[in-house]
Amino acid sequence: MQRIAIYAKKNHPHASTFAAEVMDWLLQRKFEVLLEEDLAKSQGIVRDYVDRDIPGRADLVIILGGDGTLISVARHLGTQEIPILAVNLGSLGFLTEITKDETFATLERVLAGDYELSRRMKLDCVVLRAGQQLAHYSVLNDVVINKGALARIIDMEATVNGRYLTTFKADGLIVATPTGSTAYNLAAGGPIIDPQVDSLVITPICPHTLTNRPLIVPGDSVIRLHVTFEDQMVHLTADGQVGMQLQLGDVVELQQSAVHTLLIKSPTKDYFEVLRAKLRWGER
C-alpha cells in the first residue's frame, strides 16, 4: 500500500483536525495521501486530481466519521474493491468498528499486512420505466420504497427469480443486504443477518395484510418489484441517501452486485460484540 485516501465526515467539529493528524502520520512514513475535495480545502491543500480519480489511485481508504459517511464513500468507490479502514468519531457503529483511540495502532497493523477483511455484499438496483433503464444505484445497506405522509397504501407486485411472490399492500417495502439488516430493516421488525450469510431480506413496512412477514431469500436471487399503484408521493431511496420518485408501471430490479465493499475488521472486537454494544443486549 502506497497511496492512501482519507475521507472525513462533513461538518463534524473534530473530523478535519483528526484527518490532519492521520495525514501527517502517514506522510512521516512516506505514504502518498489523497484527500477528497472538501477535506483538501480544509487543510489548505491544492490537488492535482479530482474526486473521481481517487478510487482508481488508492490502495487503502481511511474513513473518519460514522456509518453514514462509510455508506456514502462506498457508493463513491463504484466498482473498485479497495480495503476500507473505518474509524468512528462518535459512538461505536455497526460498520465503523474502529475507535479513534485505536486508529494509529490499527493502521500500523494494516500497513504491515496484518489484517482481515469482511467482504460485504452490495446490491445493484435498476429502475425501469417503459422497458428502459431510468436509474441505477449501487447499494450497501438497503433499497426502500415508501410513501409520503398523505399517500395511500402502496401496491407492489413482487417476483423472485421470475416466480410470483405476492402483491404487497403496505406503507412501503425494504430489500436489505445482511449489512443493511441492522438498519431500517431492524426497525421495521426484520431479522438481523450475519454479514457472512449470503442472503437478502424482503421486509414490508406496516403491511395491510398482517400475515405478511419479512422473507429471507438466497443472495443470488433476482427480485423484481412492479409498481401497480399511482400516487405522486412514493419514492425509492437507496441507502437512505439517494433516490427518485416512482410512477405507475415502474419496475425495480434488484440483484447481488459483482462488487463487494471490503471492510477491515477490528482487531479488538468481533461482529457479535458490536451487536451487543449497539443493541445493549444483556443490560437491565
- Which residues are known catalytic residues? 67
Hey, what amino acid is at 30?
A: K
CA distance 62 to 75: 15
Question: Cα 89 to the chain's mean position, in Å?
Answer: 18
Return phi, psi of residue 115, to 5°.
-160, 160
Hey, what amino acid is at 45?
A: I
* Residue 11, phi-psi category: left (phi > 0), alpha (psi -120 to 50), beta (remainder): left
Q: Say what angle helices 15-28 and 103-111 make with each other, to 10 degrees.
A: 40
CA distance 261 to 158: 27
